[in-house]
Amino acid sequence: MTTTAVRARTDALAEKLPGAWGIGLQRGALELKQFFRQRDQVVFTFAFPVVFLFLFASIFRDDVRGAGINASQLYVPAMMAAGIMSTSFQSLGISIAIERDEKVLRRLRGTPMPAAGYFLGKIWLVLVTGVLETALLLVVGTAFYDIDLPSDPGRWFAFAWIFVLGLTACALLGIAISSVPKSSKSASSVVVLPFLVLQFISGVYIAINTIPDWMLNIGALFPLKWMCQGLRGVFLPDSARVLEQAGAWEFGRIALVLGAWCVGGLLLCLLTFRWKNRRDG
């Protein structure tokens, strides 16, 4: 076979290979299949925020003075925001660190698969699990904790962009922080600790009006606080905005901060992401 024929055959085979988008869909299907096959992981992922919602909403049920709501209603949007961050930031931060330590990323990098295909697969995993987690918490909130679904299309639109921007920002931060753990054994500790701290200073476990301002100001540097605030603005009555630090929902500011974190998170990923461990060179 001549060189020209070999090149023609190679070009023909290359044209038949799926592009990054097609490979990303296949990777996403594989990621989802692997996720749902691990039943303990599935149960923990979806049950964790629901159990915490039940615990906190059962303990704190009194009416909130001047806000027109009870304390349990505050926890529904807060747990929804925490659930979004859990399925994106925490999930990716730990799983990618483990895959890097186990040389999975190194092997994938040595295949013809474009890098975008790998990340698209992760995005599909995060998107599907994030939607399911949010839907589950919304069903529980409306069924048991007096959360009313918005009748205003504008609020549903706000819910959509808060979800998309929040999920994107947290997913990018998860990819970035995955480069911090030195091994798979330390991945959970490195990722879970900052996430846990943020939940306490961002209005997830503690009512926003009882957190010291200096803690809120630290929490305001990260996406979770703004996701909680935005989802409260979507699902709680306007009378509840008196509890916020600024006394308003601040949707414009929320969009600005989450959008900035999407850009900043992307830059962090580009600067920090590695396909190999440090000890591998």
Mean pLDDT, range 1-19, rounded to an integer: 55
Structural contact between residues 76 and 150, judged by C-beta atoms closer than 8 angstroms: no
pLDDT score of 2 more than 80: no
Q: How far is it, in rounded angstroms, from Cα 266 to Cα 117?
A: 16
The pair of structure tokens assigned to 156 is: 């549903």
Cα separation, 167 vs 88, whole angstroms = 6
* Burial classification of residue 187, based on how many CB atoms lie within 10 Å of its CB (0-12 exposed, 13-18 middle, 19 or more buried): buried
Output the six-digit token pair for 94: 């730990």
pLDDT band for position 15 (cuts 50, 70, 90): low
Which pLDDT belongs to residue 56? 87
Give 247-266 pLDDT, tens digit per residue: 899 999 999 999 999 999 99
Residue 260 pLDDT? 96
pLDDT at 13: 45
Give pLDDT, residue 41.
83
Q: How far apart are CA 72 and CA 57, in angstroms?
A: 4
pLDDT(5) > 70: no
DSSP string, 188-200: HHHHHHHHHHHHH
Facing residues of 63 across strands? 70
Distances (CA, A) of 176 to 25, 127, 132, 219, 262: 22, 18, 24, 19, 12
Average pLDDT value for residue range 2-18: 54
Residue 17: pLDDT over 70:
no
Tokens matching residue 159? 């819910």
Q: Helix/strand/coil (H, E, C) string of 68-135?
A: CEEHHHHHHHHHHHHHHHHHHHHHHHHHHHHHHHCCHHHHHHCCCCCHHHHHHHHHHHHHHHHHHHHH
Tally of CB atoms within 10 A around 169: 29
Residue 280 is predicted with a pLDDT of 61
pLDDT on residue 8: 54
The CA–CA distances, whole Å, from 144 to 57, 78, 148, 153, 181 equal: 10, 16, 11, 24, 40
- State pLDDT tens for residues 74-128: 899 999 999 999 999 999 999 999 988 888 888 888 777 788 888 889 999 999 9
Residue 11 pLDDT greater than 70, yes or no = no
pTM over 0.85: yes
Kindly indicate the confidence band of residue 19, based on its pLDDT and cuts at 50, 70 and 90.
confident
DSSP 3-state assignment of 35? helix
pLDDT at res. 252: 95
Q: What is the mean pLDDT of the chain?
A: 87
Q: Is the pLDDT of residue 71 over 50?
A: yes
Residue 279's pLDDT band (boundaries 50, 70, 90)?
Answer: low
| Range of lowest pLDDT (108-122, 128-142, 175-189) | 108-122
Judge whether 197 and 224 are in contact, CB under 8 Å.
Answer: no
Q: How far apart are CA 257 and CA 261, in angstroms?
A: 6
pLDDT tens-digit map of 225-243: 999 999 999 999 988 888 8
| Helix axes 184-201 and 71-85, enclosed angle (nearest 10) | 150
Backbone angles phi, psi at 103, to 5 degrees: 70, 15
Read off the pLDDT band of 24 (50, 70, 90).
confident
> Judging by DSSP bridges, how do beta strands 63-64 and 69-70 pair with one another?
antiparallel
